[in-house]
Amino acid sequence: MDEIVSAPLSASEWHFDHEGGELRVTFLTDAIVRIALTPWAAQPHRTWSVIPMSDLRRATAVTVTQDAAIMELTTPALTLTLDHQSGTFFVRQANGVIICDGVKLTDQPNGRRWEMGLAENARILGGGERTGPLDRRGRTLTFWVNDALPNYDEKTDAMFQSVSFLTQVSVGMVSGLFFDSNWYAQADIGESNMDRFVYTTSGPDLVAYLCAGPTFPETLAQYASITGLMPPQPRWSFGYHQSRWGYTSAEDVRAIATTMREQQIPCDAIHLDLDYMDGYRDFTWNAERFPDPTALVRELREQGIHVVTIIDPGVKIDPNYAVYREGLALDYFIRSADDTPFEGWVWPGRSVWADFAQEQVRDWWGKQQHALLDAGVAGLWIDMNEPTQADMWAPEGVHIPHGTSLPLDTVHGPDEQPLSHAEFHNAYGLEMAHATQAGLLSQRPGERPFVLTRAATAGSQRHAIVWNGDTTSSWEHLRLAIPMNLGMGLSGIPITGCDLGGFWGNTTPELLTRFMQLGALLPFCRNHSAIDTQPQEPWSFGEPYTSIIRAAIERRYRLLPLLITLAHEASEMGTPMMRPLAWLSPDDVNCLSCNDQFLLGNDLMIAPVIVEGATSRNVYFPTGEWQAEDGRWYRGPDVTTIPVTLETMLLFQRAGSVLPKAEVTQHTSEAAQGPLDLEITLTPAAPRAEMMIWDDDDHPQAKERGTFACYVVKAEWQGEVITIRLSQHSGEMAMRYPALRARLHLPQGTYTLETLPAQAPLQAEWHFLIEG
Ligand code: GLC
């Protein structure tokens, strides 16, 4: 640090001469500090990940202490100490735990660098879609959205979703570090030197945000306040989705829907892959194979099934195709360095790519969606938006290796503000999701948009949910799915899932069953497979598989009130729906190392069976008592071996908790006939339970309009009496269930209490007398 160049810019911002540029430290809140190194010659910082600074900044009270050697900036959440001599800084949480140890920011020939020490016990989690263990220490992560090779494995680096937000857990204290760069970047997390963390971005500047935590929920909420929240998602999206590349005609699709209902497999959505298009042209229907899409979509909707269609950003070069002609005339496609539209190869053959960096292109693209929305399509699935190319139809001699993106010198943006692909690459999928969502909202203002994207980066949660692209039908990929999805949740993207059954290759009956049992409890639940693979719909292998898979999906529908509540929490606080075991016990090293179990919410622990031919599995129980669905109790911390069969799904409810469950319906809009069940676990050591349950009318502004219901359930065991109360805490929506039923799970047994009618105003109360 050379010298302080001026007095503070305001009571919460300081700047210094540093490394041939400016180092600026801004306290955005007590717990969030922005640190930016901007070389003098650098262009202004551009971001697609961070929400407007004015929405983010809050009044903070920073206490300044300084002498010739150091300057100390303190808030109730953290202390940042700058050492003028060495030019390094340290950050401590309020209780003294160091979260940034001797940070040195430098301007290197290969990029702007953030280097610091890593505490011996520190774990680093998150970082977007990653294979391998949840703890990233010992790896170098590349931040570059990438169409990963089929059969990616534990060691694969860059994947489809790149998020440069990392959570650090050190002595049970959690904090976050977010690098706001869409340029190619890497973080060496103790790989070259186990005690060092080195992040390097190829961008012209380095902008980082520090989140002081000190818990997982607070860290994720702080990160969400920087990059935004996921908007409320439609209710139907939490049901089961069926997909396949290869439903080649309307008849195929009808048959899937009919079988779904015949087989009594709950289902809320069918996805149409490229097959519905006319020669891979976006926003068209194949007139021969899908002659009356409106009728098809209507018929499916009558059965409670929503239709989702795929859209890719590559536009077929065809002078007879209106979207291409119009986009070309308007100059809406990404340009080569020579200022002509860049032409590459993807599914439609020779193609150009829509330039989502431009607002007018996003508007235009959104309007094109009417071709699908007019037919009644409910949601959009956007793909190949890394963006990636494929040489399937390329002529001899043109070879485009799998995962090739666009050249780095292609040009985005309006003429007056050009942007290189090198700068915009990681944000391309985010802005395509933005365009898609805005188009849906403007054409259907009263409906929550559903957008599913493959490419994502920090901030994508504002516009879409994601799935882990192109999983292989293998046991290895089934196992990888757990830490991959957990990592996404810790990267601020709360709703994720994977291709159940596996995308590439043929699945087996047992593998499909295990995939479906896991997937039924993931935030997003869709079975999807590649063209030319064996069918893998739930009934494809007959009995006993069909019944076992049906039971897995039915479990999801039973848990719908929980899923809806968790999604609401996510949209309010940035909390992932699926959480690592360490979520509430970051000081438990076994939880921190656990890659094969997870929590749905705080209180439901899931230990999926992920080994072929398994007859038992080891389950780690964190501190506390846990009850299995068969009524057995387990006490942690402990590892227990539990026998399993193909039917087994291992779910455990924490003692001292409430789980809301509904009766199984065939789809989420079917009116509830049965009661809302409150499954309550209490023990002498955990005699109290409390939960907030959320429901709403599915309107995008349900919260603002008051068309929601927020119920509070409290249960307490005092002496010989257990009292349970449910009341409507806020919101004006009437309860959607006709009745309420409480089930008490105690060490001495399970007791179903009287079913009460759900009359307004909602007040239910049960008293249970413990005998002897
Ligand atoms: C990509 C997608 C996959 C889709 C296929 C054809 O590989 O990841 O889900 O089925 O393209 O559209």
* pLDDT tens by residue, 619-636: 999 999 999 999 999 999
* CA 501 – ligand 1 centroid, Å: 14
* CA 468 – ligand 1 centroid, Å: 11
Q: Which two tokens stand for residue 296?
A: 């098809």
Measured distance CA(598)–CA(54) in Å, rounded: 36
In short, whether 139's Cβ falls inside 6 Å of ligand 1 is no
Measured distance CA(252)–CA(244) in Å, rounded: 11
The pLDDT value given to residue 8: 67
**Please, are residues 63 and 73 in contact by the beta-carbon 8 Å criterion?**
yes
Task: Please name the amino acid found at residue 571.
Answer: S
Measured distance CA(334)–CA(126) in Å, rounded: 32
Measured distance CA(653)–CA(625) in Å, rounded: 8
Task: Please name the amino acid found at residue 463.
Answer: H
Beta bridge partners of 745: 681, 750
Task: Please name the amino acid found at residue 444.
Answer: R
**Please, are residues 331 and 342 in contact by the beta-carbon 8 Å criterion?**
no
Question: Is the predicted pLDDT of residue 519 greater than 90, yes or no?
Answer: yes
The pLDDT value given to residue 632: 97
- Tabulate helix, strand, coil % of the chain (nearest 5): 20, 35, 45
Residue whose structure tokens are 């598989």: 545
The pLDDT value given to residue 212: 98
Nearest-atom number in ligand 1 for the CA of 243 is 10
Question: Is the predicted pLDDT of residue 60 greater than 90, yes or no?
Answer: no
Of the pLDDT bands very low, low, confident and very high (cuts 50, 70, 90), residue 618 is very high
Q: Which two tokens stand for residue 373?
A: 């929305």
In short, whether 223's Cβ falls inside 6 Å of ligand 1 is no
Measured distance CA(175)–CA(481) in Å, rounded: 25
* CA 337 – ligand 1 centroid, Å: 29
Q: Which residues of 251-277 are buried (b: 16+ CB within 10 A; e: fewer)?
A: ebbbebbeebeeeebbbbbbbbbbbbb
Question: Is the predicted pLDDT of residue 394 greater than 90, yes or no?
Answer: no
Nearest-atom number in ligand 1 for the CA of 530 is 10
* CA 184 – ligand 1 centroid, Å: 25
* CA 469 – ligand 1 centroid, Å: 8
Q: Which two tokens stand for residue 38?
A: 């901007």
Of the pLDDT bands very low, low, confident and very high (cuts 50, 70, 90), residue 393 is confident
Least confident of 93-107, 386-400, 428-442: 386-400
DSSP strands (E only) in 336-412: 344-346, 349-353, 379-382, 411-412
Q: Which residues of 110-126 are buried (b: 16+ CB within 10 A; e: fewer)?
A: ebbbbbbbbeeebbbbb
Question: Is the predicted pLDDT of residue 719 greater than 90, yes or no?
Answer: yes
Q: How far is CA 3 from CA 8, 69, 770, in A?
A: 13, 11, 71
The pLDDT value given to residue 415: 84
In short, whether 244's Cβ falls inside 6 Å of ligand 1 is no
Nearest-atom number in ligand 1 for the CA of 310 is 12
Question: Is the predicted pLDDT of residue 7 greater than 70, yes or no?
Answer: no
**Please, are residues 213 and 50 in contact by the beta-carbon 8 Å criterion?**
no
Average pLDDT over residues 753-759: 90
Element spanning 242, H or E: strand 241-244
The pLDDT value given to residue 53: 78
| pLDDT tens digit sequence for 313-359 | 999 999 999 999 999 999 999 999 999 999 999 999 999 999 999 99
Of the pLDDT bands very low, low, confident and very high (cuts 50, 70, 90), residue 772 is low
Average pLDDT over residues 489-503: 98
Nearest-atom number in ligand 1 for the CA of 384 is 1
In short, whether 268's Cβ falls inside 6 Å of ligand 1 is no
Bridge pairing between strands 657-661 and 676-681 = antiparallel
Of the pLDDT bands very low, low, confident and very high (cuts 50, 70, 90), residue 30 is very high
DSSP strands (E only) in 602-720: 604-606, 616-628, 633-643, 651-654, 657-661, 676-681, 688-696, 708-718
Of the pLDDT bands very low, low, confident and very high (cuts 50, 70, 90), residue 6 is very low
Nearest alpha carbon, ligand 1 atom 7: 470
Phi, psi of 561 (to 5 degrees): -60, -30
In short, whether 454's Cβ falls inside 6 Å of ligand 1 is yes
For the question of residue 704 being annotated catalytic, the response is no
* CA 74 – ligand 1 centroid, Å: 50
Query: Which candidate, 489, 473, 549, places its Cα nearest to that of 524?
Result: 489
Task: Please name the amino acid found at residue 365.
Answer: W
**Please, are residues 600 and 567 in contact by the beta-carbon 8 Å criterion?**
no
| pLDDT tens digit sequence for 637-667 | 999 999 999 999 999 999 999 999 999 999 9
Measured distance CA(508)–CA(117) in Å, rounded: 47
For the question of residue 470 being annotated catalytic, the response is yes
Q: Which two tokens stand for residue 152?
A: 């990616």
Per DSSP, 384 falls in state S
Question: Is the predicted pLDDT of residue 697 greater than 50, yes or no?
Answer: yes
**Please, are residues 736 and 695 in contact by the beta-carbon 8 Å criterion?**
yes
Of the pLDDT bands very low, low, confident and very high (cuts 50, 70, 90), residue 2 is very low
Element spanning 93, H or E: strand 88-93
| pLDDT tens digit sequence for 456-480 | 999 999 999 999 999 999 999 999 9
| pLDDT tens digit sequence for 67-108 | 989 999 999 999 999 998 888 999 999 999 999 999 999 999
In short, whether 469's Cβ falls inside 6 Å of ligand 1 is yes
Least confident of 35-49, 259-273, 492-506, 523-537: 35-49
In short, whether 310's Cβ falls inside 6 Å of ligand 1 is yes
For the question of residue 83 being annotated catalytic, the response is no
The pLDDT value given to residue 582: 98
Task: Please name the amino acid found at residue 703.
Answer: K
Mean pLDDT score across all residues of the chain: 95
Please report, in angstroms and rounded to a whole number, the separation of the first and last CA atoms in the chain. 72
Of the pLDDT bands very low, low, confident and very high (cuts 50, 70, 90), residue 5 is very low
The pLDDT value given to residue 4: 46
Question: Is the predicted pLDDT of residue 256 greater than 50, yes or no?
Answer: yes
Nearest alpha carbon, ligand 1 atom 3: 470
**Residues 268, 470, 588, 698: which is the catalytic one?**
470
The pLDDT value given to residue 567: 98
Question: Is the predicted pLDDT of residue 1 greater than 90, yes or no?
Answer: no
